[in-house]
Amino acid sequence: MSGSSTFASISAGYRYVCDSRRVAPRSVGRKPKGQLGTANTTAVSIPTSVAGGVAFASISAKLNHTCGVSNSGTLYCWGDNSVGQLGDNTTTERDIPTHVTGARRTRR
């Protein structure tokens, strides 16, 4: 991703990349399942902000879905959910970060 930015973390999925920035996370790549979190399924070739205005401390990209822990410790997931991998108790595909209810942050 071009430009001068500060990242907390970066993760690559299948044909896409997401970065975790303390202010506004961004994604770039192909996204047929909404895994970029930009409120649609159109591919993007420049870094595009993840929808919802949530700032993430960390992000993990998988094959066709992404999950992130917000700066406040809340878990969100988005993208393919065909087998319930987003943890929102549905199999509905999500193209924006969706709060995972019942998830707890543990401290080590």
Quick: pLDDT tens for 27-46. Answer: 666 667 777 777 777 777 77
Q: So where are the chain's domains?
A: 9-99
Distance of CA 45 to the CA centre of its chain: 17
DSSP percent split of the chain into helix, strand, coil, nearest 5:
0, 40, 60
Query: Is the pLDDT assigned to residue 23 strictly greater than 50?
Result: no
Quick: pLDDT tens for 79-103. Answer: 889 999 998 899 999 988 999 987 6
CA separation for the pair 23, 30 (Å, rounded):
23
Residue 76's pLDDT is 92
Query: Is the pLDDT assigned to residue 24 strictly greater than 70?
Result: no
Residue 1's pLDDT is 44
Question: DSSP state, 34?
Answer: S
CA separation for the pair 33, 39 (Å, rounded):
11
